[in-house]
Structure 1
Amino acid sequence: MRVFLTGATGLVGSAIIPQLLEHGHSVIGLARSEAGEKLLRSAGAEVHLGRLEDLNAIYAGAAMADAVVHCAFEHDFSKFKENAELDKRVIETFGDALKGTDRPLLVSTGMPLESLIRPITESVSLPAVSPTPRVSEQTATALQARGVHVNVIRLPQVHSVAKQGLVTSLIGIAREKGISAYIDDGLNRWPACHVEDAARVYALALDKHQAGATYHAVGEEGISLKAIAKAIGDGLNIPLLSIHSEDADAHFGFFGKLVRRDLSASSAITQELLGWKPAGPGLIDDIRKHLKR
């Protein structure tokens, strides 16, 4: 299949390209700059020039492909609401291009649900009213009623030695503040997955496409925020400190709400459906290696 890939030069997207090529697909990557174009061509992908804001270019990219994988999201948290609204429009545009066909649409999203009792599973549905401005999953799911063959892939903290998702921002805050903090007892958890493992989920989801399925690219069900903070503190040689919940926003800024949340998740259903087994390495190992560079 010819696969149109957004976010093709990002952490996850750039790892998806070799997986798709290995599975016999060709890739059309969305690029918005000459540097991005050069990077995609060197990876063996075709290039479709355009930006997420250019919905005509988004539609054209989907129209020329046999499948679409949507990984792009603008992670400027100072404009999170605006970026979430743009993401919604992009997904709806893909729906316009693919409706009434059997061409798959794979939509990436985060882990938007808290796991107050046990790790959430792929069968847990989102509430009708989103707890965050980002509505990637709700928008994708609504496209099924229009005849679009949609899969949702929920991503945790996807990491490599170079980047660790939101943890990269926590490292920056720790450097700035001179302490590595967690909230209260720090036992709330975040799930994680090495980027190569996450990329394999996308390739397998295309190969074994089941319209309407939700997948969890989760390698580790839940790593405590205290353990994450300790790895950061050890790596930066700065103190580890517990902060009360009411002080989280003052210390972490936008991330105050996120560091209070318990977001552990299971991937047992995904592993069974796709024959996928995460191989690691783990998030803590990559944090330590990153801070030793």
Structure 2
Amino acid sequence: MKVFVAGATGAIGQQLLPRLVEAGHAVVGMTRSPSKEDLVRSLGAEPVVADALDAEQVAEAVGRAQPDVIVHQLTSIGPMDLRHFDQAFAMTNRLRREGTDHLLSAGQAVGVQRFVAQSFFAAYERVGGPVKTEDDTFGTGAAKEMRQTVAAIKHVEDAVLAASWTEGIVLRYGGFYGPGTSLGPDGEQTEAVRQRKFPVVGDGGGVWSFIHIADAAAATLAAVEHGHRGVYNVVDDEPARVAEWLPELARTLGAKAPMRVPRFVGRLLTGEIGVAMMTELRGASNAKAKRELGWEPVHASWRQGFAELSAAAKVRA
């Protein structure tokens, strides 16, 4: 098949392109920057330069490529500050709204067979059991600092799933870690853990689901090749409470144990969203993705993945 990847030079794009090429697909990688054309070529794909927020540029790029599948991995995340979460995701939210609409319109014009789009597990409602499936409620009770971001994610999901002319597939990825991510060997979150700037808030009862960036790419390849309309949680096998995974990450990095602060202090430091993510977040089950996509994460647990992350970080130190 011919696969058009929007967001080809992002963390997941750089993992996905070589996998698509190795699997025998012809790949066109879209980037906004001409300076990244060589990177796309080095990953085995044909580069195309287009601004995802320009409908005409997207239509022309997709029209020339004539792909069978479009993969939407567009993001542009600014410096992270949980107290201003929506501000950090402002450009990504535009890409999720306008970019999604432009790609869908272009895809419909050329008749793509599948449209695969990125979503995120952390927008599940923070009620009920600790681990959510794709049938659970999504995207209506977000913390105030995250409401615009959740609304943009919901726009992606609603638009893609409503596209009756194609197999609309939504991948609700877990928290990324590994090369090129903020939780990579030299990533922003990793450094925050090293410096004890990533505290456990309250009881640390929030449940997180992680996914190694390479495993996320492998699941995306599976969705491209034989996914069916619907939503899939792309996460590892072990959802975990913050009070469990954060101290373990610090230990593997050789850092001091994270500080523990009460909820009111956490609210001052990280806003409502930080407290919610630390104390109320729900994890996600990967049973559907494993069953229907025939996919298994190589890093079945964040424990294994964090050990690899720590080893890589020590090599770079």
Which band: TM-score by shorter chain? Answer: 0.7 to 0.9
User: Which runs of structure 2 are paired with 1:157-168 in the superposition (5 Å)?
Assistant: 157-160=175-178, 163=181, 165=183, 168=187
- What is the distance in 2 between the residues matched to 1:249 and 1:172? 21
The equivalent of 1:61 in structure 2 is: 61
The alignment yields a C-alpha RMSD, in angstroms, of 2.8
The equivalent of 2:131 in structure 1 is: 119
Change (3 A) 1:237 1:143: closer
Q: TM-score, normalised by structure 2?
A: 0.80
Q: TM-score, normalised by structure 1?
A: 0.86
Instruction: In structure 1, list runs of 5 or more residues that go unmatched.
Output: none
Asked if structure 2 preserves the Cα contact closer than 8 Å seen for 1:188 and 1:225, the reply is yes
Structure 2 letter corresponding to 1:94: L
The equivalent of 1:98 in structure 2 is: 107
The alignment-based identity, stated in percent, is: 20
Change (3 A) 1:4 1:226: same
- What is the distance in 2 between the residues matched to 1:233 and 1:146? 44
Change (3 A) 1:127 1:180: closer
Asked if structure 1 preserves the Cα contact closer than 8 Å seen for 2:206 and 2:280, the reply is yes
Change (3 A) 1:130 1:232: closer
Change (3 A) 1:258 1:118: closer
Paired residues, number: 291
Shift of 1:39: 1.0
Asked if structure 2 preserves the Cα contact closer than 8 Å seen for 1:12 and 1:199, the reply is yes
1:241 lines up with 2:259 in the alignment: yes
Asked if structure 1 preserves the Cα contact closer than 8 Å seen for 2:205 and 2:280, the reply is no
User: Which runs of structure 2 are paired with 1:1-293 in the superposition (5 Å)?
Assistant: 1-63=1-63, 64=65, 65-76=67-78, 77=80, 78-99=87-108, 101-111=111-121, 112-113=123-124, 114=126, 116-127=128-139, 132-134=147-149, 135-149=152-166, 150-160=168-178, 163=181, 165=183, 168-175=187-194, 178-210=196-228, 212-234=229-251, 235=253, 237-252=255-270, 256=274, 257-280=276-299, 282=302, 283-293=305-315
SS in 2 for 1:153: strand
Change (3 A) 1:99 1:162: closer
Instruction: In structure 2, list runs of 5 or more residues that go unmatched.
Output: 81-86
Shift of 1:37: 1.0
Which segment drifts farther, 19-28 or 127-136?
A: 127-136
